[in-house]
Structure 1
Amino acid sequence: MAAPARKPILISGAGVCSLLLGQALLRASIPFRIFEKDTSITFRAQGYRLRLSNEGLDAIEAVLGDGFQKFWDACGKTGGAGFASLDALTGEPLADELPSYDSTKEKKADGSPEAAAQNTIRETLASRGGKVVGISRGGMRRIFLEGCEDSIEWDHQVTGYELTSSGVRAIFSDGSRSIEGEMLIGGDGLYSGVAEQLSGGALKVYDTGARGIHGQAPTTAFKGLGEGVFRILDQSRVEGRAFIITNVRAGDMDDPSIEFGWTMGAQPGVINPPNEDYTITGAPAANIAKSITEKWHPRLRPLFDQMVESEAAFWKITCSTPEGVPEWPNEPRVTVIGDAAHSMTPAGGIGCNTGVRDSALLGRLLAEAGGFRDGVTAAYEKEMRVYASEAVRTSYGLAKHQFGVIIDENTPTIQRGQRSV
């Protein structure tokens, strides 16, 4: 008699971290099902680029193995010109030192020096070969999706879960249940209902009030900048500072069929989506970006005048508890990865790199166990909390220094378990 088919690992969300975990399970011949609230991988604008650190690249390579070369070839590599900080109105260089902050200057609430992390945290850019390595979120998702297509169920938003006598079921927004799985992995981002239920509310995501817009334009629009990594700062606005971050690869600047991305961020009050609806994409986001930059220097204006409006999208600058990833009672059959476990500010480009480390770590533990085994989620969470807590602290420290982001007892938290509006 044939052995009964093994129940799959259930994964909520089809973002970068979930798909990379899917790749790890695929290579280990462990069955899995991914449930994604969007109707397809191209449902929303997502063309902005993600900067990959050595740790992030190592994690991706550990999962993809021989398939890593295809991923590497799809990445952009910016080198030679290094980092430059520019004044948005004059186009002239500002201090060219990479952003940092001295944690020895931090104070506790009682005014005494903060004992932890007595060092200067500095943002680093280059990773392999002295290059700044980046890839669009959409491009990364498409590569990680390959081979996993038959294991994804689109238009299924997971809002929570129920444990059974021998497994777990995902609960969808319409009240229906999934098939029974051996485990459920919450990889559904900031608004994860799985994270809320699992941690009993301990996993908080703070809304810093700062806002952003992602955009992209043909590479020819970037020729006025030249090659390098740029932070462009506008300190002239009464409402608060605005900035963009982008990296430009010299070899592609003459090809209008290729697009580069930029990320705009601003202090509270500068970027205000219509009706505070952050799901809006396209022209409304593009128009706000254009209005903010209308007085910027002519060498910068093409990035916005020529932007691909359909790819513009709003985003909130959020952060988990700055002290790090909290503890919660371990559930052997349920855990969380990526933004569901640790939201970070854009400072330092740390969030995605930490998330893919989650995928590689959990994927390795599951592969070694051959699927579910009691103790896997506990081992994963113990190790994840160490590197992810360090990453959250660094991300928050840099954002506090660079953007003026402050999290205190009055900072609101976002409500998890529902879509952003």
Structure 2
Amino acid sequence: MALNTRKPILISGAGLASLLLGQSLLRASIPFLIFERDSSISFRAQGYRLRLSTQGLDAIESVLGPEQWKTFWNACGKTAGRGLAHLNAVTGTEVTQEANGDRPPIVDQEAKGKPLDLGSRDGKIVGIARGELRRLLYSECKPFVHWSHHVTGYEVTSSGVRAVFADGSKSVEGDVLVGGEGVYSKVAKQLSQGKLKVYDTGARGIHGQAPSTAFKGLGEGVWRMVDETKPNGRVFVITNVRPGDMDDPSVQFGWTLGAQPGVVTAPNDDYAITGKPAAEIAKALTADWHPRVRPLFEQMAESEAAFWKITCSTPDGVPEWKNEPRVTVIGDAAHSMTPAGGIGANTAFRDSALLGRLLREAGGYADGVTAAYEKDMRVYASEAVRASYGMAKSQFGVTIDENSPTV
């Protein structure tokens, strides 16, 4: 596909939202360049499996062409059943909502406060591994991704914008810079003059994987396993057990372990550590769990274990900042969310689809495009942040105020 001769759209970060935006621009022959601080697509673990909401799927479908959508859809797992099932991790018994005490029920932002309903298409729970989705989106964007380019700011020129890199060098001049480099976004900090804040909730977790055969004791479904017996706080695990693969040990399913502040602590407080140190902590925390669920941890692929921090933007929603026509932000750079309900990634996909559509309709950069995007984004993203934080308060026992530490 021949791209036009306009200046490129510059995108900071090669995560899911950035790559989906790239796909949108590619379809319209709008030139773009993606700058990523990592050295390659395989540089780091990609974390837990994504639960794709109706709105997230709609956003992805609106960007991908028919053939790409078919490839993506075939790569997704579709889990039937009743939705989210609660399990006492120690006894192995299922827990009804009524037996869950006076803790607020888990709710879904898209269901407007109703109990969480994970079914997103055809009554199925649709999910895909982050790494697999990233590889799919990267396949066509590959020629436009520049690795080992750490964007630390930007410079608006008389006719465009340049990304500034950590070594002091600058990119070619682009029409727009889109910050999509996550919670540590330097673009977001500069653009919002510090108004965009990401708070460290203090809660931590571990991602892991195990052969699908280890999940046979659970059976098909989306499971939330909770241990209330730990002396320093609650521990829980969420996993999606898909049908069809539970007899094939070459297939791995993922799980996400989370805990209240103080329960999970990485060596030297270094949460970039992966592999055995994270695996050992996960195994220790689950050693007394029921035989129905222990295989998930006893048989885990230790090399794939990784720590993660639970962060969240200001619970009041996405703040206002003075619009810069040449610069905007998407995904976690604009609105970091806790993993509760899987809302964060789906909201990021909406960002990419919206901004991509506005740029396509304008044929690239035009006055008012970033302002129109930010106006609409603030509405749905603020609602999502509030819902994500509300669920995290009940699940993780975290609270955020103006005195909470930022990342």
| TM beyond 0.5 | yes
Which residue does 1:71 correspond to in 2? 72
Letter paired with 2:366: R
| Deviation, structure 1 residue 300 | 1.0
SS at match of 2:140: coil
Letter paired with 2:376: E
SS at match of 2:380: helix
- 1:364-375 alignment to 2 at 5 Å? 364-375=357-368
Which residue does 1:130 correspond to in 2? 123
Answering whether residue 205 of structure 2 is matched by residue 215 of structure 1, we say no
Which residue does 1:87 correspond to in 2? 88
SS at match of 1:230: strand
| Deviation, structure 1 residue 310 | 1.7
Answering whether residue 167 of structure 2 is matched by residue 174 of structure 1, we say yes
State the distance in 2 between where 1:124 and 1:182 align. Answer: 41
Which residue does 1:261 correspond to in 2? 254
Which residue does 1:400 correspond to in 2? 393
Letter paired with 1:41: I
Please tell me whether the aligned partners of residues 215 and 241 of structure 2 are also in contact (alpha carbons under 8 angstroms).
yes
| Deviation, structure 1 residue 331 | 0.2
State the distance in 2 between where 1:203 and 1:328 align. Answer: 9
Answering whether residue 24 of structure 2 is matched by residue 24 of structure 1, we say yes
State the distance in 2 between where 1:261 and 1:233 align. Answer: 17
State the distance in 2 between where 1:120 and 1:373 align. Answer: 38
State the distance in 2 between where 1:102 and 1:358 align. Answer: 28
| Per-residue deviation, residues 330-363 of structure 1 (Å, max 9, x unmatched) | 0000000000000011111100000000000000
Letter paired with 2:311: T
Q: Structure 1 residues 380-389 or 94-103, which shifts more?
A: 94-103
| Deviation, structure 1 residue 124 | 2.3
Q: Select 2:143's aligned residue among 147, 150, 159.
A: 150
| Deviation, structure 1 residue 5 | 2.9
Q: Select 1:311's aligned residue among 292, 301, 304.
A: 304
State the distance in 2 between where 1:377 and 1:327 align. Answer: 13
| Deviation, structure 1 residue 120 | 4.1
| Per-residue deviation, residues 302-338 of structure 1 (Å, max 9, x unmatched) | 1011111121111111111101000000000000000
Please tell me whether the aligned partners of residues 84 and 116 of structure 2 are also in contact (alpha carbons under 8 angstroms).
no
Answering whether residue 46 of structure 2 is matched by residue 46 of structure 1, we say yes
Which residue does 1:13 correspond to in 2? 13
Which residue does 2:36 correspond to in 1? 36
| Deviation, structure 1 residue 166 | 0.7
Q: Structure 1 residues 296-305 or 334-343, which shifts more?
A: 296-305
State the distance in 1 between where 2:369 and 2:83 align. Answer: 42
Which residue does 1:244 correspond to in 2? 237
| Per-residue deviation, residues 344-393 of structure 1 (Å, max 9, x unmatched) | 11111100000000000000000001111110000000000000000001
Letter paired with 1:76: G
| Deviation, structure 1 residue 80 | 2.4
Answering whether residue 163 of structure 2 is matched by residue 162 of structure 1, we say no
State the distance in 2 between where 1:344 and 1:250 align. Answer: 29
SS at match of 2:204: strand
SS at match of 2:360: helix
CA RMSD of aligned residues (A): 1.8
Letter paired with 2:299: Q
| Deviation, structure 1 residue 57 | 0.1
Identify if the C-alpha distance between structure 1 residues 85 and 363 changes in structure 2 by more than 3 Å, giving closer, same or farther.
Answer: same
State the distance in 1 between where 2:257 and 2:200 align. Answer: 17
- 1:312-391 alignment to 2 at 5 Å? 312-391=305-384
| Deviation, structure 1 residue 47 | 4.7
State the distance in 2 between where 1:225 and 1:357 align. Answer: 33
| Per-residue deviation, residues 252-285 of structure 1 (Å, max 9, x unmatched) | 1011111111111101111101111121111111
Letter paired with 1:181: G
State the distance in 1 between where 2:105 and 2:240 align. Answer: 26
Which residue does 1:116 correspond to in 2? none
Please tell me whether the aligned partners of residues 20 and 359 of structure 1 are also in contact (alpha carbons under 8 angstroms).
yes
Which residue does 1:275 correspond to in 2? 268
Q: Structure 1 residues 53-62 or 123-132, which shifts more?
A: 123-132
Please tell me whether the aligned partners of residues 84 and 117 of structure 2 are also in contact (alpha carbons under 8 angstroms).
no
Which residue does 1:113 correspond to in 2? none
State the distance in 2 between where 1:251 and 1:313 align. Answer: 27
Please tell me whether the aligned partners of residues 97 and 105 of structure 2 are also in contact (alpha carbons under 8 angstroms).
no
Q: Structure 1 residues 72-81 or 261-270, which shifts more?
A: 72-81
Q: How many residues align?
A: 397
Q: What runs of 5+ residues in structure 1 fail to find an aligned partner?
A: 104-118, 415-421
| Deviation, structure 1 residue 97 | 7.0
State the distance in 2 between where 1:158 and 1:273 align. Answer: 27
State the distance in 2 between where 1:264 and 1:44 align. Answer: 19
Identify if the C-alpha distance between structure 1 residues 301 and 377 changes in structure 2 by more than 3 Å, giving closer, same or farther.
Answer: same
| Per-residue deviation, residues 212-269 of structure 1 (Å, max 9, x unmatched) | 1111111011001111110000111111111000010121101111111111110111
| Per-residue deviation, residues 108-167 of structure 1 (Å, max 9, x unmatched) | xxxxxxxxxxx8453221110111111011011001111111100001111111111111
| Per-residue deviation, residues 66-119 of structure 1 (Å, max 9, x unmatched) | 12111011001110253311111111111257998489xxxxxxxxxxxxxxx8
Letter paired with 2:172: I
Which residue does 2:109 correspond to in 1? none
Letter paired with 1:200: Q
Which residue does 1:411 correspond to in 2? 404
Q: What runs of 5+ residues in structure 2 fail to find an aligned partner?
A: 107-111
Letter paired with 2:89: A
Q: Give the TM-score of the pair, scaled to structure 2.
A: 0.94
State the distance in 1 between where 2:82 and 2:231 align. Answer: 33
Q: Give the TM-score of the pair, scaled to structure 1.
A: 0.91
